């Protein structure tokens, strides 16, 4: 069988998943009368809501006598653990770039990994049907990107196609009139080499992904590097961290279109799913017991951001969640490690608290949101960047950030980014918009997105991705405003919120559950104050005018999970339940906070 394995690389919203839909349709993967969802590869609920790819997935299409395995990769560095291991299954990459926006930070991150693996690229300039498309300039930017990433001469001789995933066509020239994807299929078969393994050698397969089925247990997914595999074959499992285990291939599946198809055997180079190995983990090598030889381990970049996870200790915990105990939290976090290899979980001296480290805020927030939907209640602290000492100097993670903004707001963007120790790497004018590229410390990004959107009236478009470690850039001022902290427990009332509206903006509304120490709003000054938002209006037997019945209160400010995490200060926690996000102080009692403040002041003075 003629096999090609190709990974698709693209920035968020550059049309990657839509193009895969078009490839599936035109290869005959669907019946003529079959109802098909758009973006079929984004199957995870959060992927559909956020419009991004989080989990690497694979599918396949048939073109003539050939089978093309397509691996959909996440575009964000936060999910780099997914990217690094799935690129090992490919011989080439399809680099998809928007014909207007050009190469973006997430494109750069995944392409760098592909270049390091020596994969053959095919460049697709997508969305050429956009009125503002500029394919010639974008192609020059792509050449510059390849040169920046130290591509070799062979990688620089990449074929170029011009496409519209939505309209379902690819062209060798922008205006050659072709209206189907046949040129793309032909380019893949012509330029992407077949798998390099030895079909007659001893069987070797490295587990790149894990799935689970209630009937067959853990399912290992990977590409057969050498030899072939068949159902009933005895194998040995060489663990990534040392040790061995024996097993047998109970079931074997190959990927056909969007489905897994049972198979009796599979040849070298095929991507397969294997059931029957209960101890398999990502990075393990499955091989022939006669010649057990481990494949090189998958190298995963170290985490750059950490947070403290703990059980929910608020006075109103346990009302809506199903999983509340330390045992539940611990088991869930350590279970996540088996499939999320870029994550790191450490126990702390406090048995209720776990230090969880990941590749970025999005990486950790996706985990939190997943646990929240599963029914967990938990609390998390302020995200903290992970510093490293390199050549005797303290270094911090630096991100490459791009910002597109109307020219009238350019000054405000420069001012905000400058306050966060960001420096301009590149700037350009594009049809009335300024395009900036900044290098900025990762800690400077915490809370920056909301400030940029406020300063530009929602018109700024911002993306960022991990660049590397550089020497410490200096102190950065975080949130300046103080908060309104509740002094009582009960239900919030319109009467008390209305009487306190001059104090600042509120995060709660009438009849919300409130407890002492909970943060109910943002103070208009730079210090915290305590307020009583549960006070009800005293009722008397005197009749008053009906003016009080028409109290006008501004709607509360609502946070997304990422916004709430960015808002936190060191002495605050975010309480997360399946239905609510609540900000609170670590110490709920006012006298405890005063005592802690005095002790901290004494330490500073001492």
Q: Note the pLDDT of residue 603.
A: 45
- Say whether 340 sits in a helix, a strand or coil: coil
Q: Could you tell me where in the chain the CATH 3.40.50.300 domains are found?
A: 2-191
Please give the structure tokens belonging to residue 310: 């703990």
Please give the structure tokens belonging to residue 183: 């040129």
Please give the structure tokens belonging to residue 424: 């301009």
Q: Residue 33 CB: number of other CB atoms within 10 A?
A: 5
Question: Angle, to 10 degrees, between the axis of helix 105-116 and the axis of helix 135-148?
Answer: 50
Question: Quick one: pLDDT band at residue 606, thresholds 50, 70, 90?
Answer: very low
Q: Note the pLDDT of residue 175.
A: 86
Closest CA to 254 of 241, 267, 245: 267
User: Rounded mean pLDDT of 396-400?
Assistant: 89
DSSP letter at 76?
Answer: S
Please name every residue paired with 290 in a beta bridge, in sequence order, or none if there are none. Answer: none
278 in Cβ contact with 250 (< 8 Å): no
Interval 238-295: pLDDT, tens = 887 778 888 899 999 998 877 788 999 999 989 898 988 888 887 889 999 988 888 8
Question: Quick one: pLDDT band at residue 39, thresholds 50, 70, 90?
Answer: very low
Q: Note the pLDDT of residue 277.
A: 86
Q: Note the pLDDT of residue 540.
A: 73
Token pair 């969007």: residue: 258
Interval 294-347: pLDDT, tens = 888 777 778 888 999 999 999 998 888 898 899 999 999 998 887 777 789 999
Q: Could you tell me where in the chain the CATH 2.40.30.10 domains are found?
A: 204-287
Mention the CATH class of domain 204-287: mainly beta
How far is Cα 43 from Cα 59, in angstroms, rounded to an integer? 12
Q: Note the pLDDT of residue 41.
A: 46
CATH number assigned to the domain covering 388-471 = 3.30.70.240
51 pLDDT more than 60: no
CA dihedral 76, 80, 81, 83 (to 10 degrees): 90
98 pLDDT more than 80: yes
Question: Quick one: pLDDT band at residue 57, thresholds 50, 70, 90?
Answer: low
Please give the structure tokens belonging to residue 567: 């808002």
42 pLDDT more than 70: no
CATH number assigned to the domain covering 2-191 = 3.40.50.300
**DSSP H or E segment with residue 245:** strand 244-248
Please give the structure tokens belonging to residue 377: 């209640």
Q: Note the pLDDT of residue 599.
A: 64
How far is Cα 234 from Cα 469, in angstroms, rounded to an integer? 45
58 in Cβ contact with 69 (< 8 Å): yes
52 pLDDT more than 80: no
Q: Which fold has domain 483-537+551-605?
A: OB fold (Dihydrolipoamide Acetyltransferase, E2P) (2.40.50)
Q: Could you tell me where in the chain the CATH 3.30.70.240 domains are found?
A: 388-471
SS3 annotation, 435-493: EEEEEEEHHHHCCHHHHHHHHCCCCCEEEEEEEEEEECCCCCCCCCCCEEEECCCEECC
Q: How far out from the chain centre does Cα 265 lie?
A: 35
Measuring CA to CA, how many Å separate 185 from each of 120, 159, 192, 538? 15, 13, 11, 75
């Amino acid at each position: 069988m003629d096999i090609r394995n190709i990974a698709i690389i693209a920035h968020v919203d550059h049309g990657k998943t839509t193009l895969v839909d078009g490839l599936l349709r035109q290869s005959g993967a669907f019946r003529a009368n079959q109802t098909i969802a758009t973006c079929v590869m984004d199957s995870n609920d959060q992927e559909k809501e956020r419009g991004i790819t989080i989990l690497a997935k694979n599918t396949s299409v048939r073109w003539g006598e050939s089978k093309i395995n397509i691996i959909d990769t996440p575009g964000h560095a936060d999910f780099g653990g997914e990217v690094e291991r799935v690129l090992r299954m490919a011989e080439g990459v399809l680099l998809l770039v928007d014909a207007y926006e050009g190469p973006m930070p997430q494109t750069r991150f995944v392409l760098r990994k592909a270049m390091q693996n020596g994969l053959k690229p095919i460049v697709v300039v997508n969305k050429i049907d956009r009125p503002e498309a500029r394919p010639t300039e974008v192609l020059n930017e792509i050449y510059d990107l390849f040169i920046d990433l130290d591509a070799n001469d062979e990688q620089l001789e990449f074929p170029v196609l011009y496409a519209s995933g939505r309209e379902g066509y690819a062209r060798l020239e922008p205006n050659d009139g072709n209206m189907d994807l046949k040129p793309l299929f032909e380019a893949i078969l012509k330029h992407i080499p077949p798998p390099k393994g030895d079909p007659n050698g001893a069987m070797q397969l490295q587990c790149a992904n894990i799935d689970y089925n209630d009937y067959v247990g853990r399912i290992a997914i990977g590409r057969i590097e050498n030899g072939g595999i068949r159902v009933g074959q005895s194998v040995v499992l060489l663990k990534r961290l040392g040790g061995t285990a024996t097993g047998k291939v109970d079931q074997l599946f190959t990927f056909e279109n969007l489905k897994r198809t049972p198979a009796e055997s599979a040849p070298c180079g095929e991507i397969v799913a294997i059931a029957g190995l209960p101890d398999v983990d990502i990075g393990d090598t499955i091989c022939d017991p006669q010649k057990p030889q481990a494949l090189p381990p998958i190298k995963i970049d170290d985490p750059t951001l950490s947070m403290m996870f703990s059980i929910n200790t608020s006075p109103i915990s346990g009302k809506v969640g199903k999983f509340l105990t330390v045992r539940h939290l611990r088991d869930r976090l350590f279970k996540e490690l088996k499939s999320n290899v870029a994550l790191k979980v450490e126990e702390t001296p406090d048995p209720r608290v776990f230090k969880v480290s990941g590749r970025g805020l999005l990486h950790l927030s996706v985990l939190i949101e997943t646990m929240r939907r599963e029914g967990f209640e938990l609390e998390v602290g302020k995200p903290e960047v992970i510093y490293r000492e390199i050549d005797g100097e303290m270094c911090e993670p630096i991100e490459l950030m791009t910002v597109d903004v109307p020219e009238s707001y350019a000054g405000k963007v420069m001012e905000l980014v400058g306050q966060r120790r960001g420096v301009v790497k590149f700037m350009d004018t594009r049809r009335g918009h300024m395009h900036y590229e900044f290098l900025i410390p990762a800690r400077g990004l915490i809370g920056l997105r909301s400030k940029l959107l406020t300063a530009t009236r929602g018109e700024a478009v911002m993306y960022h991705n991990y660049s590397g470690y550089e020497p410490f850039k200096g102190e950065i001022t975080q949130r300046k405003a103080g908060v309104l902290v509740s002094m009582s427990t009960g239900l919030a009332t319109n009467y008390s919120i209305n009487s306190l509206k001059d104090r600042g903006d509120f995060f709660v509304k009438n009849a919300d559950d409130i407890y002492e120490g909970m943060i109910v709003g943002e103070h208009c000054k730079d210090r915290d104050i305590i307020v009583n938002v549960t006070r009800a209006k005293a009722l008397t037997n005197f009749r008053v005018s009906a003016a009080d019945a028409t109290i006008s209160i501004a709607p509360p400010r609502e946070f997304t999970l990422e916004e709430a995490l960015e808002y936190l200060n060191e002495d605050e926690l975010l309480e997360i339940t399946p239905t609510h996000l609540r900000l609170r102080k670590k110490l709920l009692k006012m006298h405890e906070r005063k005592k802690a403040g005095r002790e901290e002041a004494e330490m500073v003075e001492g």
